[in-house]
Chain A
């Protein structure tokens, strides 16, 4: 096969067995890889009702066909599993060198099943696979774990691992690779922890083959030029990182503030990418095969929060920033470093701390609950301390590490959890940007921006312009983005490459690489198939139309200040049209005709 390696590796941690199977060419063609192929594997092998943290759940590491090639900014992989935060068909997407190395070792996917009796790590050196004892590594943070595993395997091995948060099976735990890159969302790190799997080290010496090298190179050169000529893809993201969005979103009045009590934060500029570049940036960093380089290598000199690492990106700067009423970038970056080191999702944790702050200010919890900490909005030291506690599952932190849904519900106020389908919404206020609200409500991963990034049109005016405050046309916009991203994620490409290229360029590169001809329509159809596959899983988990909604605050309480003052989200004006355009019935269930069309 070209693009694909043709082999899937299966490791059963209960039995200690290692087997290989051929990649099915038809499934590869129809689901590409990563999120799509991994999702198909999970759907075929795991019962949606399975306990996420039980031995019957599986953990699939899957790169895409582009992964390991020089298709621009397309070296990504997905971690696919039943997500413990909310039970969805979780696919958490990460850059870094781990996915490409898995391809060079010869694998389109690595399926982990069962549960090891004691802590272990996996060492994959091409076709030599070992399950090794991890007793001496368990308990270490992600940076030290990476070093320790390398010392026992190969100094240049690519390592994915969990930190203490994953070991504690915190529902916000992520899986880190290359020390600073995260498969961050839906709690995939807890699944790895539940399997007693501390780390996976890979070293590959093989190749990713190309069907038509000349055509592939020409398509890649064209795509590179388009991205490099784009003001965001070619310049903005490298200069200021994704954190450049702080000021942009604040200026449209859609920067969620103090747990979504407002959509505007007057001093947000102090936490934006421009401030970060001036104060903390050591250098920009790119993921494997990336030409955009939005990553930030950063250093904090302020002794209270001193540290060195990577980030924050926009979502993290928002979660620990305006959402907690905080404008101290040094503290935000410190919290981000802690999350990377302990392996916990910055978006969900930031939002959960913000939720706790609101619970505290409203008197629903007191200092007795918070280990004596005055957990008020704007209390910078308290935010960092709570991040540390969540990272280590210490005291009140153990509750924070399970996410805001369980936290707020536990104290009798679920309405204060800013979640969709139990996952925290990211940094775009649906009252200020209507379409992203529809995306949060319908997103099959719950509160999530990267699978339907309507912000690109509604705010960033990437290729087209739509008023963020209107609902008209947003159903179609959402569906287009959700379908495109389904296919794009599954190919191994980065969402940010869409700041320059689209489905047509991706389809052309994919055709040249794999030797399977994809038209733009076929590429988009793959995305739609993957979206519906995830929807079918969610229906089996038990999610219904009632869950396709937003926190009531966003539907009833207008934004108080700033450019979007007075706005609420009008989900009811968009959702029926969305179902209809999706070919789903009035209850949001895919019709038989639609499933047949998608060969599902």
Chain B
């Protein structure tokens, strides 16, 4: 059983601690531009949605990579990994990813995508609201499904 990152935008409070934790983990400083997770806020609605690599099984970034730098990890399940040494910075992965979750950073000449902090994602540790979870892949939607099941329970309790 492997773990996956689960996003719950409905719980997000828009604090951007995920971005801060991510950039700090990867660079030892606070540079949200270097974060592998980006939380986009719609201020009129007061709504924020964190976005990060979904570690696709059939990943477009892996398919287009001409050097094998972007590859499925052999050692860690549910991880699309990036090999800095092999990468030629052609940026095809950033074009291919349908979600925009692979980015090129000129300041560090790197491809930024979530590496789950090698299995202990800091964004999850620092998220204060439970909007980000790192859960067993078989249970990834359990909390969301249960939350909606609870609404049914309430509705039925009212009529019975």
Contacts and interface: CB of A to CB of B under 8 A. Distances in A.
Interface in A126-177: 143, 146, 156
B29 A286 contact: no
A97 B30 CA distance: 14
Please tell me the size bucket of the interface on B: 20 to 34
19 contacts: A70-B21, A97-B16, A207-B27, A207-B30, A208-B30, A208-B31, A217-B24, A224-B128, A283-B10, A283-B47, A284-B129, A285-B14, A286-B14, A286-B15, A286-B128, A290-B15, A291-B128, A293-B13, A295-B13
A287 B10 CA distance: 16
Nearest to A283: B46
B13 A290 contact: yes
A207 B29 contact: yes
Contacts of B15: 286-291, 293
Given A284-B129, A285-B46, A289-B20, 19 more contacts: A70-B17, A70-B24, A104-B31, A104-B32, A143-B43, A178-B43, A179-B44, A210-B28, A213-B28, A282-B46, A283-B13, A283-B47, A287-B15, A290-B128, A291-B15, A291-B17, A291-B128, A293-B15, A293-B128
Interface string A254-291: 00000000000000000000000000001111111111
B43 A205 contact: no
Contacts of A29: none
A180 B43 contact: yes
B10 to A, nearest CB: 7
B40 to A, nearest CB: 8
B16 A289 contact: yes
A282 B17 CA distance: 21
B126 A70 contact: yes
A338 to B, nearest CB: 15
Interface residues of A, number: 39
A284 B13 contact: yes
Interface in A195-246: 204-210, 213, 217, 224, 228
B43 A146 contact: yes
B149 to A, nearest CB: 20
B49 to A, nearest CB: 13
Nearest to A146: B43
A29 to B, nearest CB: 20
B128 to A, nearest CB: 4
Contacts of B21: 70
B33 interface: yes
A228 B45 CA distance: 26
Nearest to B126: A70
A286 B13 contact: yes
Contacts of B20: 69-70, 289
B159 interface: no
B107 A297 contact: no
A68 interface: yes
A323 interface: no
Contacts of A293: 13, 15, 128-129
A291 B12 CA distance: 11
Contacts of A207: 23, 27, 29-31, 34
A528 interface: no
Interface in B97-133: 107, 126, 128-129
A223 B21 CA distance: 15
A345 interface: no
A310 interface: yes
A288 B30 CA distance: 13
B33 A285 contact: no
A310 to B, nearest CB: 6
Contacts of A178: 41, 43
A283 B48 CA distance: 11
A180 B40 CA distance: 16
Of all A-B residue pairs in the complex, the 7 with the closest CB atoms, nearest first, are: A297-B46, A207-B31, A286-B15, A291-B128, A286-B13, A70-B20, A179-B43
